[in-house]
Chains A and B, each alone.
Chain A
Amino acid sequence: KAGVTQTPRYLIKTRGQQVTLSCSPISGHRSVSWYQQTPGQGLQFLFEYFSETQRNKGNFPGRFSGRQFSNSRSEMNVSTLELGDSALYLCASSLPTAGEAFFGQGTRLTVV
């Protein structure tokens, strides 16, 4: 069974640009959540999607957005990038009634 796949693995962007990250969950998993991980703040929850609807949202500005497609694949978008957006972005998928979340390898975003 394939795990959670995130693409791309690494990205370098310039301040002011926008970026789109992709996440393919484990087959059969309909819940996809996104996290930002930085050395100072740890793992911070961005949002969760379930059946193409945003079900939960963390405390991030509106520049961070996401969506989920009918096949459960998800994308997150960050517009008007800032230096502080440099981080590892992790996606996790889970079954709707189970506790365990499976993480992808993440996308390392560097904003210069």
Chain B
Amino acid sequence: GQNIDQPTEMTATEGAIVQINCTYQTSGFNGLFWYQQHAGEAPTFLSYNVLDGLEEKGRFSSFLSRSKGYSYLLLKELQMKDSASYLCAVGLSGGSYIPTFGRGTSLIVHP
């Protein structure tokens, strides 16, 4: 079966750094995705890691360790608009990149 775990909720202060962890146990692996979803809106793509290591993209970075089944999303210089749900998803193999999602981490950024 597929199991993707991430914390349900996190809070942080504007300007701070927050790390959202994700662990996974899946029958296949074709990369790990992070998506952001604001309330009432569609998920939007943040990052895709297929190899181990850190990928940096502006204020957001994503890390992957395939041997540990572990990833994290790092958000720096937090802004109020970063308050959203962050979804970790694993792409399963079999010729498809369709991701299987965790339940998401609701991040609340306060002043």
A29 to chain B, nearest CB (A): 12
B38 to chain A, nearest CB (A): 12
Q: Is the interface of B mostly helix, strand, loop or mixed?
A: loop
Range class of the A interface residue count:
20 to 34
- Residues in A23-77 with C-beta less than 8 Å from chain B: 31, 33, 35, 41-45, 48, 50, 55-56
> Does B95 touch A at the CB level, under 8 Å?
yes
Q: Is the CB of B104 within 8 A of A42?
A: yes
Q: Which residues of A contact B30 (CB under 8 A)?
A: 99
CA–CA, A94 and B44, complex, Å: 13
Q: Which residues of B contact A33 (CB under 8 A)?
A: 98
User: A106 with B42: in contact, given A42-B104, A55-B96, A56-B96 (CB under 8 Å)?
Assistant: yes
CA–CA, A101 and B92, complex, Å: 14
Q: Which residue of A lies closest to B100 (CB)?
A: A45
Q: Which residue of B lies closest to A104 (CB)?
A: B42
Q: Which residues of B contact A50 (CB under 8 A)?
A: 96
Q: Which residues of A contact B31 (CB under 8 A)?
A: 99
Q: Is the CB of B48 within 8 A of A105?
A: no
Partner of B103, one of A31, A42, A90: A42
A-binding residues in B (CB < 8 A): 30-31, 33, 41-45, 48, 50, 87, 89, 91-92, 94-104
Nearest 8 interchain pairs by C-beta: A42-B103, A43-B101, A103-B42, A99-B48, A100-B45, A48-B98, A103-B43, A33-B98
